[in-house]
Chain A
Amino acid sequence: MANQKYGFIISMERCIGCNACTISCKSYYNLNPSINRRFVREVEETLVGEAKRCHISTACNHCEEPGCAKACPTGAYTKLDNGIVKHNQDRCIGCKMCATACPYGVPQFDPVKKKMDKCSLCVELLEVGEETICMASCPMEAIQVVDLNETETIGLVDRVNGFVNPDITKSTTLFKLPDATHTVRRDL
């Protein structure tokens, strides 16, 4: 796993906001009904200067400088060599500081386990060469999990309207903006 840096690439061109990623993740990990590991949001229609309905599907951004890891008093968060920010629930005492410190508000409090919960980037599936649950369930193939060290990132951006400034914790999630030429020209 050395020299790898896993991260998400989200195609805003493809995402239709169906929430299949959120639901399949929730189902696979048997999450408490009150929490999610993925979030699908609608973002500004004027994103690329054209009227177009856009969505972004995000989870933990597996930041280079994770705020959750700095805030956690028990050291439950670890930035692994492969780029994944791992949450060790055995260490978690449910103080919720990670949720406050994460600019994206990603970690969520599981009211049954009384511990925090967040995306693990399906590390156990990646390790055996399988796709993450969100990636496999997306009908539009809008979600990719890639090795960012081996992926061409030209044409991808790390910031879009509706997504918190990635400079704060150096988010690794990248976005493919919708192609403006695909906009329906209603006047024609």
Chain B
Amino acid sequence: MEHSFTLVLFTVLSQLAIGGFITLFFLDALKGKLSPKTSQTAAVGVVVIGIVAVLASLFHLGHPFHAAKALLNFGHSWLSREVIFFAIFIVIAIIYLFVSKTEGGRKKIVAGLGTLFGILTVYSTAMIYTIPSMPAWNNGTTLLAFMLTACVLGPLFVQTISGFTKDTFIDCSRYTTTIIGALIVVNLLIISVAHGGSDEAVATGLAICTSPLFWIKAVLYVLAFLISGRSICNSNLKNTNIATILFVLMLVAEFLGRIVFYATGVHL
């Protein structure tokens, strides 16, 4: 696809922001494990990243100042739905900034609604690309990959923030290792499904396998998986520095993976 770097930025950053907010829902609103400073800082981060994602997506348009027209076809277009759901998500994330210091039901409701609209956004983003004209994308692996991006980057982002705010370290090593493992499996699945599909899907599969960026991503995945896996049984590795390293590794890996996604899609 042409001009897709802005879409790379939008999809990865929006999924990072959504994953970060869902982490806040579980760790802050439901379990109360984060200090007010950490939850506030992470919520600010979610809002800023979300807004940067939206700004990046505007540069994909021929007429960015008419972007509001993209809301008009909610009934049929997944892109319209994505825009609306993500706008609502950002508004809720901003509201969360104000209620995150409070206790009780209101905070949980706001965080729950934000989580719901975040998930709807990722689902809509995936459905935009799950189309018959792009055979390699037209299956469940697109949704799986996008959801896992949010699942892996979100918690690592909040852990990284907790390091900056000198908060107590929350161990997510089992969870992180599992999700990175799932990402490795899903990537193998993407290549397998592509190679078993139509001529265009096979061409996509071959383009993925011959892309240097894909192999750099694969090395980063394996490295992150080994570090995260090692930290499960080694308490010396359970700290925010390791979480920050894992966050950087996975963020770079997801950016590279998304570049490969857009660059290798073969149209019918």
Contacts and interface: CB of A to CB of B under 8 A. Distances in A.
Which DSSP category, helix, strand, loop or mixed, fits chain A's interface?
A: loop
A75 B73 contact: yes
A105 B267 contact: yes
B73 A93 contact: no
B67 A72 contact: no
Interface of A: 67, 69-75, 91-97, 100-105, 109, 113-115, 164, 168-169
Contacts, number: 86
B76 interface: yes
A96 B3 contact: yes
A101 B130 CA distance: 9
13 contacts: A67-B131, A73-B80, A75-B76, A75-B77, A93-B61, A93-B70, A94-B61, A95-B60, A95-B70, A105-B133, A105-B267, A115-B62, A169-B132
Given A94-B61, A95-B62, A71 B267 contact: no
A103 B63 contact: no
B76 A69 contact: yes
B1 A100 contact: yes
A93 B66 contact: yes
B134 interface: yes
Contact of A164 (B2, B76, B78, B268): B268
A82 B60 CA distance: 33
B77 A70 contact: yes
A73 B72 contact: yes
A70 B76 contact: yes
The 7 closest A-B pairs by CB, nearest first: A94-B62, A114-B62, A73-B70, A73-B79, A75-B73, A73-B80, A74-B69
Contacts of A113: 62
Interface string B112-137: 00000000000000001001111000
A40 B132 CA distance: 23
B83 interface: yes
Interface string B44-78: 00000000000000001111001101111100111
